[in-house]
A and B are shown apart, each in its own frame.
Chain A
Amino acid sequence: MIGTLIGKTIIKVEKLFKFNASSFPGEVILKLFPNYLKKIKYPELVIMVTGSTGKGSTVKLLKEILENNGLKVCTNEEGSNLIYGVCTTVINNVKGKKLNADALLLEVDERYLKFVSKHIKPKYLMINNITRDQPPRQGSFDIVYNEILKGIHKDTHLILNGDDPILKKFSLIHTGNITYYGIEKTKYSYKEMNDIKDYEYCPKCHNKLEFEYYHYGSVGNYKCSNCDFKRDNISYSITKVDYNNNEITINKKTKIKVNNYILFNLYNIISTYTISKVLELNEDKIIDTINNSSINQKIFNEFEINNRKYTILNCKAENNATYNLSLIYTAMDKEKKTIVLGLRQISRRYKHFDLSWLYDIYFELLDDKSIDKIICAGPYAYDFATRLKYANIKEDKLIILDDLQNIKETIENKTSGNVYAVLNFDYVKPFIEKVKEETK
């Protein structure tokens, strides 16, 4: 096809000049040939993954599992998840009119699903979560829900987190298959934490949802106080989390190794396990792949400096869920500790100055005896400090730094205990580099 030829040529020229814009070739081809993607013959197995967070991690893990089961898998690069990036991926992997793979596995931006699925019909669609995320771009979670809905084909098999009422809402409309996964009550589940609520009303009849327990936000075991809307039909769930042996149990029998207990990590594992089971892949190979996977490095990093344990938790500004899960994780450690909060830039996409989301985060969890000091670093340090003040944290516990210049000395000389750095993703690398610098 002429489109493929031009596309492949652009990619070659890009490589020649070491210029790597993953969406550009796709953009050119879709402008020249708007129906290009419709004309390609795809493998029967087309899987798409969407949602506010965890798309990249789940795609990476699922790809490994599929490959270990002997399938040739085509995926898009992490973050190239708009229609043009997807098109570039297709161009790269097409031979003649046919995609040269046994499975096409795509991470798709939640607002672009409707464009992508118009051209490429997914047999399976995993929706990880819909959380508050980049309000200036996304509006609200209702808007994101409706955008995703527009991209769902009637007969697509959905894989959903059954603990999340906003995802369960798809069952009110969707006529195709749905498989749910979840996590049963753990020792860190809670009945009532504070007044920060995400999704508390029944999408069917608008009456109050009752929660037997929460894992975070409005994710947990819910049922409507009035109608039949409730968490049910969970096919695969984590029935036990063994916090001493780094192990989880699925459906009371399958044991899997994990390297951290951040809920997002557990949800990524159970969702990937679930679709692998739906695809009837080899159980031993699924478990083996997950046991040996390193997907968690992106959100979680642990090391030791001068006999102090450092844990780096990677969060996303304007997304309260990523912070809440990180804070819940720090609270599991009852030993003495120091917390570092830092952020360089609210968004790379726009210059708005909205910090409302800080008030949707349970910073009240940091009002705890085990915490020695809290360091707020970066251009928004005072905004973080103000938030902590309204979480009843005394000012003498706070250390404010304009940037990361003196972070190493500050941690080493002015704080004690395990270090938990709850950082926006743009501060993770600079922070790790600074604290690992050799002392002069």
Chain B
Amino acid sequence: MKITIGYLYHDLLNLYGDSGNIKTLKYHLNEQGIDTVIKYMSVNDKKDFSDVDILYIGSGTEDNLLVALEDLKKDEKALINYVNNNGFILSTGNSVELFGNYIIADKKIKTLGAYDYVSMHQDRIVKDIRIKTNLIDEDIIGFENHIGNILSYDDSIININNFYGTYIIGPILVRNPKFCSFLIKELILSKDKDFKFKEEDYKLDELAYSNVK
């Protein structure tokens, strides 16, 4: 099996160790004997998602997020098509705002409208979080640092079909080994429902996780 990881705006939306998520995905997919290809797509590149199995997008400065939005709008149809085909998306930090209907800042900015929510820019939120989800039996931990707030969703992780969006910044998959394992299993099973999983190695990750009080 081969899995293609689409990495959107690796050189623009890269504020907080976001590339750690790509390293982790690659590592654990390889561990299962699966070949991985990382497909980098950034400003002015043609966005072709037809061969992508999971799409990752990280966080950027407020200005850079808008640069990415303008660029992504050029291939909006391809992205919406990917969403409608239930493609996997992991979106961390403020990139989660791109997939809703609007960002309400100084003015109202129309976003991609892939999912039905609105983000409101207000005072900066800086906090550690620990949350329970329906996805795994362990809390998800992380750090938030953003000026937006998503209206109509109380959860810190928005999960709609295969879309996982969160304001948690940076390497969420490193810090949350169970979530990483869950996501990778879902991804593999979507391609082969009879896949025989090999043993996974999250020993160091788990030790680091259990260190967080």
Contact = CB atoms under 8 A, between A and B. Distances in A.
B187 interface: no
A359 B124 CA distance: 23
A257 B42 CA distance: 43
Given A142-B63, A195-B22, A200-B11, A357 B44 contact: no
B14 to A, nearest CB: 6
Given A352-B128, A356-B17, A356-B170, A390 B24 contact: yes
B106 to A, nearest CB: 15
B143 A208 contact: no
B175 interface: yes
- Chain B interface: which size bin? 35 or more
A382 interface: yes
A302 to B, nearest CB: 30
A352 B61 contact: no
Contact of A135 (B11, B16, B62, B212): B16
A356 B58 CA distance: 12
A357 B208 contact: no
Interface in B19-71: 19-20, 22-24, 27, 40, 42-44, 61-64, 67
Nearest to B19: A195
A208 to B, nearest CB: 7
Nearest to B211: A382
B188 interface: no
A155 interface: no
Interface string B1-17: 00000000011101111
Contacts, number: 109
B204 A356 contact: no
Nearest to A199: B11
B76 interface: no
Nearest to B24: A390
B126 interface: yes
Interface string B176-213: 00000000000000000000000000001101100110
Nearest to A135: B145
B198 to A, nearest CB: 17
B208 A354 contact: no
Contacts of B169: 354, 356
A132 B27 CA distance: 26
Nearest to A140: B61
A409 interface: no
A206 B143 contact: no
Interface string A348-381: 0000111111111000000000000000000110
Given A356-B170, A382-B204, A386-B204, A139 B67 contact: no
21 contacts: A135-B16, A135-B145, A136-B145, A142-B61, A201-B11, A201-B43, A207-B43, A208-B11, A353-B128, A354-B145, A356-B18, A357-B16, A359-B23, A359-B170, A379-B211, A380-B211, A385-B204, A386-B205, A387-B20, A390-B20, A391-B23
Closest 9 CB pairs of A and B: A359-B17, A356-B170, A359-B20, A356-B17, A382-B208, A356-B16, A142-B61, A354-B143, A197-B11
Interface of B: 10-12, 14-20, 22-24, 27, 40, 42-44, 61-64, 67, 124, 126-128, 143, 145, 169-171, 174-175, 204-205, 207-208, 211-212
Given A207-B43, A356-B169, A359-B18, 4 more contacts: A132-B15, A136-B145, A386-B174, A390-B20
